[in-house]
Amino acid sequence: MASKLHITSLQVGDDSITPVTKAKGVDVTIDCHMTMKAHASISSVCKGAFIHLKNLSPLRRYLDRESMECVVHVFITTKLDYCNSLYYGFPSKQFQSIQNAAARIISGTRKYDSITPVLRSLHWLPVQPRVTFKTLVLVYKTVNIMAPPYQ
């Protein structure tokens, strides 16, 4: 149906808005069909997170668990949480492998040991339930006028 529409511009108040094939906000790209196909952020987030993990790994022998957890939150968890409601329903295998690797660095767990007990001990939800939880918290805060104002 969208292909049958031929809108050259849209008048909103005194402004004329011209359609574009894709639009980019702060590190988020959405195409004219409202899909995320033009959004390459998932792969770039994963690449950046794994680079950070590689650089953070040697710090483990110098920091206690609590400090290492704090450093991982600063460099990794924030990357996974940024705009994560956009990733709802997307396959989370890449993000889950980042979270697992971060948990292994904090706990010193070997690659082939089960990660589930480690995630539980850190009180971390797996990625997909975490995305759902964070989205629901945002909705709750918005509905109850607890969200930060947008200006």
Chain segment 77-89, per-residue pLDDT in tens = 888 887 777 777 7
Query: Any idea which residue has 């959405």 for tokens?
Result: 30
Instruction: State the pLDDT at residue 30.
Output: 63
Instruction: State the pLDDT at residue 35.
Output: 60
* Dist CA 104 CA 114 (whole Å): 10
Q: In this model, does residue 44 exceed pLDDT 60?
A: yes
89-140: per-residue pLDDT in tens?
777 788 899 999 999 999 999 989 999 999 999 999 998 899 889 889 988 9
Helix, strand or coil, per DSSP, at residue 30:
strand
Instruction: State the pLDDT at residue 28.
Output: 62
pLDDT confidence tier of residue 63, bands split at 50, 70 and 90? very high
Instruction: State the pLDDT at residue 88.
Output: 75
* Dist CA 29 CA 108 (whole Å): 37
Torsion of CA 8, 14, 15, 16, to 10 degrees: 10
Instruction: State the pLDDT at residue 21.
Output: 67
Query: Any idea where the domains of the chain sit in the sequence?
Result: 41-143
6-42: per-residue pLDDT in tens?
777 777 788 887 776 666 665 566 666 656 554 556 7
C-alpha 64 chain-centroid distance: 27
* Dist CA 53 CA 129 (whole Å): 22
Phi, psi (5° rounding) for residue 30?
-125, 135
Longest CA–CA span in the chain (Å) reads: 62
* Dist CA 95 CA 42 (whole Å): 8
Instruction: State the pLDDT at residue 115.
Output: 93
* Dist CA 22 CA 39 (whole Å): 10
